[in-house]
Chain A
Amino acid sequence: MPRPTVILRSIRLPLVVPHFTRWMVLRSLLTWLFVRGAATAGIGAAAAAVGLPPANPLRLNPVAALVVIAIVAVAGTVWARKRNEDTFLLCLGHSRARQLATLLAPVAAAELVMAVVL
Chain B
Amino acid sequence: MSVLLRADSIAKRYGGRSVLASAYFEAAAGRVTALVGRNGAGKSTLLKIAAGWMAPDAGMVEYRGIRSRRPDPAALARDGLFFLPVDRSILSPPFTLGQHLDAVEARFGRADRAAVLTRLRMAELERVRCAAFSGGERRRAQLAVALLRRPACLLLDEPLRGIDPGDAEEVHAILRELAAGGCAIVLTGHEIPQVLALADSIVWLRDGGARMLGSPAEAAADWRFQKEYLGKVR
A91 interface residue, CB < 8 Å from B? yes
Asked whether, in the complex, the Cβ of B91 is within 8 Å of the Cβ of A93, the reply is no
> Residue of A at shortest CB range from B131?
A83
Asked whether, in the complex, the Cβ of B77 is within 8 Å of the Cβ of A93, the reply is yes
> Residue of A at shortest CB range from B52?
A90
Residues of B near A41 (CB, < 8 A) are: none
A94 interface residue, CB < 8 Å from B? yes
Q: B91: which of A18, A19, A88 is its contact (CB, 8 Å)?
A: A88
B93 interface residue, CB < 8 Å from A? yes
Tell me the A2-34 residues at the B interface (CB within 8 Å): 16-20
Report the Cα distance A2→B190, complex, angstroms: 58
Q: B90: which of A16, A87, A98 is its contact (CB, 8 Å)?
A: A87
> Residue of A at shortest CB range from B107?
A92
Chain B window 120-151, contacts with chain A (Cβ cutoff 8 Å), 1 for yes, 0 for no: 00000000000000000000000001000100
Q: Which of B3-11, B68-76, B215-223 is the interface stretch?
A: B68-76
Asked whether, in the complex, the Cβ of B106 is within 8 Å of the Cβ of A88, the reply is no
Asked whether, in the complex, the Cβ of B94 is within 8 Å of the Cβ of A83, the reply is yes
Question: Closest approach, in angstroms, between the C-beta of B111 and any C-beta of chain A?
Answer: 14
Q: What is the total number of residues of chain A having a CB less than 8 Å from a CB of chain B? A: 18
Report the Cα distance A19→B107, complex, angstroms: 13
Question: Closest approach, in angstroms, between the C-beta of B104 and any C-beta of chain A?
Answer: 7
Chain A window 23-64, contacts with chain B (Cβ cutoff 8 Å), 1 for yes, 0 for no: 000000000000000000000000000000000000000000
Chain A, interface SS category: loop
Tell me the B81-109 residues at the A interface (CB within 8 Å): 82-83, 85, 88-95, 99-100, 102-104, 106-108
Q: B93: which of A20, A84, A93, A96 is its contact (CB, 8 Å)?
A: A84
Chain A window 87-111, contacts with chain B (Cβ cutoff 8 Å), 1 for yes, 0 for no: 1101111111010000000000000
Question: Closest approach, in angstroms, between the C-beta of A101 and any C-beta of chain B?
Answer: 12
Report the Cα distance A90→B89, complex, angstroms: 12
Asked whether, in the complex, the Cβ of A84 is within 8 Å of the Cβ of B92, the reply is yes
Asked whether, in the complex, the Cβ of B90 is within 8 Å of the Cβ of A88, the reply is yes
Residues of B near A95 (CB, < 8 A) are: 72-75
Report the Cα distance A95→B75, complex, angstroms: 8
Residues of A near B90 (CB, < 8 A) are: 84, 87-88, 91
B110 interface residue, CB < 8 Å from A? no
Report the Cα distance A96→B92, complex, angstroms: 16
Seen from chain B, the residues whose Cβ lies within 8 Å of a Cβ on chain A are: 53, 72-75, 77-78, 82-83, 85, 88-95, 99-100, 102-104, 106-108, 145, 149
- In the A-B complex, list the 7 residue pairs whose CB atoms are closest, starting with the nearest: A93-B78, A95-B74, A93-B77, A17-B103, A19-B99, A88-B90, A83-B92
